[in-house]
Chain A
Amino acid sequence: MDKKILFYGYGNPGRQDDALGIRFIEEMQTWVEENGYKNISFDSNYQLNIEDANTISGYDIVFFIDASMESIESFSITKVEQSNAQVEFTMHAISPGVVLSLCQQIYNKVPQTHLIHIKGFEWELEFDKGLTEKAEKNLQDALRFIQEKLLGIVGNSTNFSI
Chain B
Amino acid sequence: MSKKITIEPVTRVEGHGKVTIHLDDNNQVAQSRLHIVEFRGFERFVQGRPYWEAPVLVQRLCGICPVSHHLAAAKALDVIVGAGTGDGLTPTGEKMRRLMHYGQMFQSHVLHFFHLASPDLLFGIDGDPALRNVIGIAIKHKELAVQAVMMRKFGQEIIKATAGKKVHGTGAIPGGINKHLTQAEKDHFLNGDDPMNIDKMIDWSLGALEFFKGYHAQNKDLIDNFASFPSSHVSLVRKDGAMDLYHGVLRGVDANGKKILDDVDYQNYLEYIDEEVKSWSYMKFPYLRSIGKKDGWYRVGPLARMNTCDFIPSPLAQKEFEIFKAYTNGKPNGMSMHQHWARLIEILHSAEMMKELLNDPDLMNGELTVKGTKGREGVGLLEAPRGTLFHHYRINDDDQIEMANLIVSTTNNNTPMNTAVNLAAKQFMNGQTEITEGMMNAVEVAIRAYDPCLSCATHALGKMPLEAMILDANGKELDRKLKNG
B167 cross-chain contacts in A, Cβ below 8 A: 13, 22, 44-46
**Partner pick for A50 among B42, B57, B148, B166, CB 8 A cutoff:** B148
A140 cross-chain contacts in B, Cβ below 8 A: none
Number of A-B contacts (CB under 8 A): 109
Residue B361 at the chain A interface, CB threshold 8 Å: no
Q: Looking at chain A's contact residues, is the secondary structure mostly helix, strand, loop, or mixed?
A: loop
Residue A151 at the chain B interface, CB threshold 8 Å: no
A94 cross-chain contacts in B, Cβ below 8 A: 115, 134
Residue B111 at the chain A interface, CB threshold 8 Å: yes
Report if A98-B64 is in contact (Cβ < 8 Å); known contacts: A50-B115, A53-B149, A92-B14.
no
Say yes or no: B59 contacts A14, CB within 8 Å: yes
Say yes or no: B11 contacts A102, CB within 8 Å: no
A54 cross-chain contacts in B, Cβ below 8 A: 149-150, 153
**Partner pick for A106 among B132, B142, B166, CB 8 A cutoff:** B142
CB contacts under 8 Å to A, within B152-211, are 152-153, 156, 166-168
B62 cross-chain contacts in A, Cβ below 8 A: 12, 46
Say yes or no: B66 contacts A46, CB within 8 Å: yes
B103-144: CB near A (< 8 Å → 1, else 0) gives 000000001001110000000000001101111101100100
Residue A105 at the chain B interface, CB threshold 8 Å: yes
Residue A148 at the chain B interface, CB threshold 8 Å: no
Residue A84 at the chain B interface, CB threshold 8 Å: yes
List the B residue with the shortest CB-CB distance to A15.
B60
List the B residue with the shortest CB-CB distance to A9.
B167
List the A residue with the shortest CB-CB distance to B160.
A45
> In the bound complex, how far is the Cα of B130 from the Cα of A54, in angstroms?
23
Report if A105-B111 is in contact (Cβ < 8 Å); known contacts: A13-B168, A49-B152, A50-B148.
no
Residue A162 at the chain B interface, CB threshold 8 Å: no
A50 cross-chain contacts in B, Cβ below 8 A: 111, 114-115, 134, 145, 148-149, 152
Say yes or no: A105 contacts B60, CB within 8 Å: no
How many interface residues does B have (CB within 8 Å)? 47
**Partner pick for A125 among B42, B136, B145, CB 8 A cutoff:** B42
Say yes or no: B152 contacts A45, CB within 8 Å: no
A44 cross-chain contacts in B, Cβ below 8 A: 166-167
Residue A113 at the chain B interface, CB threshold 8 Å: no
B15 cross-chain contacts in A, Cβ below 8 A: 90
Residue B272 at the chain A interface, CB threshold 8 Å: no
Say yes or no: A98 contacts B134, CB within 8 Å: yes
CB contacts under 8 Å to A, within B59-84, are 59-60, 62-64, 66
> In the bound complex, how far is the Cα of B135 from the Cα of A105, in angstroms?
8
B13 cross-chain contacts in A, Cβ below 8 A: 90-91
List the A residue with the shortest CB-CB distance to B40.
A125
**Partner pick for B57 among A14, A49, A87, CB 8 A cutoff:** A14
B6-37: CB near A (< 8 Å → 1, else 0) gives 00010111110000000000000000000000
B9 cross-chain contacts in A, Cβ below 8 A: 89
**Partner pick for B453 among A13, A14, A47, A91, CB 8 A cutoff:** A91
**Partner pick for B135 among A22, A45, A98, CB 8 A cutoff:** A98
CB contacts under 8 Å to B, within A28-85, are 44-47, 49-51, 53-55, 84-85
B156 cross-chain contacts in A, Cβ below 8 A: 51
Residue B41 at the chain A interface, CB threshold 8 Å: yes
Report if A106-B149 is in contact (Cβ < 8 Å); known contacts: A15-B60, A22-B167, A92-B111.
yes
> In the bound complex, how far is the Cα of B156 from the Cα of A94, in angstroms?
16
List the A residue with the shortest CB-CB distance to B14.
A91
Report if A127-B14 is in contact (Cβ < 8 Å); known contacts: A92-B111, A102-B138.
no
Interface centre among B40, B133, B139, by most chain A C-beta atoms within 10 angstroms, is B133
> In the bound complex, how far is the Cα of B98 from the Cα of A11, in angstroms?
26
Say yes or no: B138 contacts A87, CB within 8 Å: no
A22 cross-chain contacts in B, Cβ below 8 A: 167
> In the bound complex, how far is the Cα of B116 from the Cα of A98, in angstroms?
14
Say yes or no: B63 contacts A47, CB within 8 Å: yes
> In the bound complex, how far is the Cα of B59 from the Cα of A106, in angstroms?
32
Say yes or no: A127 contacts B49, CB within 8 Å: yes
Interface centre among B15, B116, B135, by most chain A C-beta atoms within 10 angstroms, is B135
A125-155: CB near B (< 8 Å → 1, else 0) gives 1010000000000000000000000000000
B14 cross-chain contacts in A, Cβ below 8 A: 90-93
Residue B448 at the chain A interface, CB threshold 8 Å: yes
Residue B146 at the chain A interface, CB threshold 8 Å: yes
> In the bound complex, how far is the Cα of B60 from the Cα of A14, in angstroms?
5
Say yes or no: A102 contacts B60, CB within 8 Å: no
Query: How many whole Å from B131's CB to the nearest CB in chain A?
Result: 9
> In the bound complex, how far is the Cα of B399 from the Cα of A10, in angstroms?
33
Say yes or no: B135 contacts A101, CB within 8 Å: yes
> In the bound complex, how far is the Cα of B156 from the Cα of A45, in angstroms?
10
> In the bound complex, how far is the Cα of B44 from the Cα of A125, in angstroms?
11
List the A residue with the shortest CB-CB distance to B65.
A92
A92 cross-chain contacts in B, Cβ below 8 A: 14, 64, 111, 453
List the B residue with the shortest CB-CB distance to A47.
B63
List the B residue with the shortest CB-CB distance to A104.
B138
Report if A14-B168 is in contact (Cβ < 8 Å); known contacts: A98-B135, A105-B139, A105-B142.
yes
B contact residues vs A (CB 8 Å cutoff)? 9, 11-15, 40-42, 45, 49, 57, 59-60, 62-64, 66, 111, 114-116, 129-130, 132-136, 138-139, 142, 145-146, 148-150, 152-153, 156, 166-168, 448, 451-453
Could you show 12 A-B contacts with beta carbons less than 8 Å apart?
A14-B59, A54-B153, A84-B130, A84-B135, A84-B136, A85-B130, A87-B132, A88-B12, A89-B9, A93-B14, A106-B145, A106-B149
A contact residues vs B (CB 8 Å cutoff)? 12-15, 22, 44-47, 49-51, 53-55, 84-94, 98, 101-102, 105-106, 125, 127
Given A46-B66, A91-B12, list of 18 further CB < 8 A pairs? Answer: A12-B62, A44-B166, A46-B62, A50-B111, A51-B149, A55-B153, A86-B133, A87-B132, A88-B12, A91-B11, A91-B14, A91-B451, A92-B64, A92-B111, A101-B135, A105-B139, A105-B145, A106-B145
